[in-house]
Structure 1
Amino acid sequence: MNPVQGKIRVGVLGFGGLGQAAATILAQKQEMEWVAVADHKGYAYNPAGLDPQACRAVYQSQGTVGYLEPYGTLSHQSIQDLLEKAEVDGYFLALPNLPNTFMASVAQQFIQSGWRGVLVDALKRTSAVEQLLTLREDLKGAGITYLTGCGATPGLLTAAATLAAQSYSEIHSVKITFGVGIANWEAYRATIREDIAHLPGYSVEKAQAMSDQEVAELLDQTNGILALENMEHADDIMLELAGICDRHQVTVGGVVDTRNPKKPLSTNVQVTGRTFEGKISTHTFTLGDETSMAANVCGPAFGYLKAGIKFHRQGFYGLLTAADLMPQFVR
């Protein structure tokens, strides 16, 4: 692994909307070097660093970074092949969690490969995090520091709720409300499908099986708006594990506009509780409307990755969530 003063070598798994945004963010960082990327058809690796624009152009024109010359390789087992070839300190798993068992299966690939380092995901569903919890001892034994639920929600807003809770002797509720605006849903196909899976009458399996045409038809029926309530979001289990409150006290919902980059409402978290003086109060933390979904997901993910590297170098392995430690700002 790099010395502490050296650049952190980062890989990104998945090169859809979030993966491409992650690459763009990494290009602006001095403390991290983006050296590896994989999609479902291939991978690219350059220890001196990859060019986000070149990778994006190849991916959009040919469907995989595997065609990137001279660093790309076509592969039907791209993650496994990349792990064998690349020297990487930490990976951001910008992967669609469809089916719901997918992220846990990726974690098992890392465990079985013998790779040691830091993994960060932006998982949404409670049940997906529960599956990772069963791998805690395996991750620890493999020398992997895995940080889960480190996007916006779960992630940034879960961490904010954890801090806000400290003013109270007793927590009554945590309410997370998000607004997402994107100009074109096709830039975030997997994310939108995961959101559709939360709608009444839909499931992860049903959303995964939908063709792009079927998704477009659904969005036509709703004028591009997805209104989501009482979502199965891992903020609940993360706050419960952190001892903040019971999971049933946490609610998550929001509005996604798939045709307009302007947020339909401001993303915020409200933490209500009773102080030691017996007063009931609410803390509200609101994200700036100008910050995009990608900024609020990828930024925290890399902040947690940096914190994870510090923990890993001190010999701490296993599973943590965004409510367990503070992210560190990546310069």
Structure 2
Amino acid sequence: MMNLQQLTSPIRVGVLGFGGLGQAAARILAPKQEMIWVAAADKKGYAYDPRGLNPDTCITAYQAQGSLGYIEAGGTLSNQSITDLISQADVNGYFLALPNLPNTFMASVVQEIIKSGWRGVLVDALKRTSAVEQMLQLKDSLQAAGITYMAGCGATPGLLTAAAALAAQSYAEIHSVKITFGVGIANWEAYRATIREDIAHIPGYNVEKAVAMSDAEVEALLDRTNGILALENMEHADDIMLELAGICPRDRVTVGGVVDTRNPKKPLSTNVQITGRTFEGKISTHTFTLGDETSMAANVCGPAFGYLKAGIALNQRGIYGLFTAAEIMPQFVK
């Protein structure tokens, strides 16, 4: 793999979407030496400064006025913020920290980026299998556009999927991959889109119903469940990613978990269990458990930028198209 000295250094990074994950991404990038955060967009505007954006300034403006477009230095209000930003900014790669509601939203954004003629690296933290399937349909278009696209590069799918792909090497056959996550957040409003995506997985709900819910309706649901969302057999793209990587058929992958929207302490430890048969005929299980002190933001945004760095190395070698977190090793961003 190409080392950083052969890359454009530091890597110029943009963040599309500035909700909970987008703001966390800005904070994670701030101390990095190998990446500089220069661009971000929300629904109503964007901010761009080739010298680097200040996370505190951006987050304060967004929370107080509802858009990065109000920032004095580098802010622009726009109803087509993503398109305008991409046409103006000199950026090597973007993290798509966008809510995938409706389920076609991310694919539609990527199609617009392809049409713009921009070349570089895109990374997402998509959850749903069907959303990643839509990206797979764009594989040839991404390749032709000179874009290296890294799909499913958050926590799950992402960090835990990659751990499963690595742990699978001990076995001759994989019998099951079971991902169980615990998420604790102090206030659901900090991650509105993420919580709505989770609600869409609850029996009796779907993406359309979750999108249509008002904030008051979400709060009423959370009141009924004491702030807890228990999720089982989710439509999670870990399954298609592990199938594409040749690890196991997708029906052997299950994902579920518990989200506490009123307590930052995790309700349970996030882990992946990989059960298989060794070449000697023994049945065994590897378990990879994330530390309870690591937040959802740390476990999503950290891997996303690790995969962005890996994608930059591929892109600079002329390798374009679509890859998943189960196919490529992320590179640690210093």
Instruction: Report the TM range for the smaller structure's normalisation.
Output: over 0.9
1:197-212 mapped onto 2 (5 Å cutoff): 197-212=200-215
Question: Out of 119, 129, 133, which is 1:116 matched to?
Answer: 119
1:1-331 mapped onto 2 (5 Å cutoff): 4=7, 6-331=9-334
One-letter code aligned to 1:132: M
SS at match of 1:177: strand
What is the CA–CA distance in structure 2 between the aligned matches of 1:257 and 1:4, rounded to whole Å? 41
What is the CA–CA distance in structure 1 between the aligned matches of 2:194 and 2:7, rounded to whole Å? 34
Q: C-alpha displacement at 1:292, in angstroms?
A: 0.1
What is the CA–CA distance in structure 2 between the aligned matches of 1:186 and 1:220, rounded to whole Å? 14
Q: C-alpha displacement at 1:28, in angstroms?
A: 1.3
Deviations 1:183-206, CA, capped at 9 Å, x for gaps: 000000000000000000000010
What is the CA–CA distance in structure 2 between the aligned matches of 1:182 and 1:70, rounded to whole Å? 32
One-letter code aligned to 2:47: A
SS at match of 2:163: helix
TM-score, structure 1 as length reference:
0.99
One-letter code aligned to 2:160: L
One-letter code aligned to 2:66: G
RMSD: 0.8
What is the CA–CA distance in structure 1 between the aligned matches of 2:164 and 2:143, rounded to whole Å? 27
One-letter code aligned to 1:83: I
What is the CA–CA distance in structure 2 between the aligned matches of 1:230 and 1:282, rounded to whole Å? 20
What is the CA–CA distance in structure 2 between the aligned matches of 1:3 and 1:232, rounded to whole Å? 39
SS at match of 2:254: strand
One-letter code aligned to 2:102: P
SS at match of 1:252: strand
What is the CA–CA distance in structure 1 between the aligned matches of 2:154 and 2:8, rounded to whole Å? 26
What is the CA–CA distance in structure 1 between the aligned matches of 2:244 and 2:8, rounded to whole Å? 33
SS at match of 1:176: strand
Q: C-alpha displacement at 1:5, in angstroms?
A: 5.4
Q: C-alpha displacement at 1:3, in angstroms?
A: 6.2
User: Runs of 4 or more off by more than 2 Å in structure 1?
Assistant: none
Residues matched between the structures, number: 330
What is the CA–CA distance in structure 2 between the aligned matches of 1:274 and 1:64, rounded to whole Å? 53
One-letter code aligned to 1:150: C
TM-score, structure 2 as length reference:
0.98
Q: Identity, % of aligned pairs?
A: 79
Deviations 1:260-308, CA, capped at 9 Å, x for gaps: 0000000000000000000000000000000000000000000000000
Q: C-alpha displacement at 1:4, in angstroms?
A: 1.6
SS at match of 1:120: strand
Deviations 1:55-80, CA, capped at 9 Å, x for gaps: 00000000000000121000000000
What is the CA–CA distance in structure 1 between the aligned matches of 2:111 and 2:87, rounded to whole Å? 15
What is the CA–CA distance in structure 2 between the aligned matches of 1:248 and 1:142, rounded to whole Å? 33
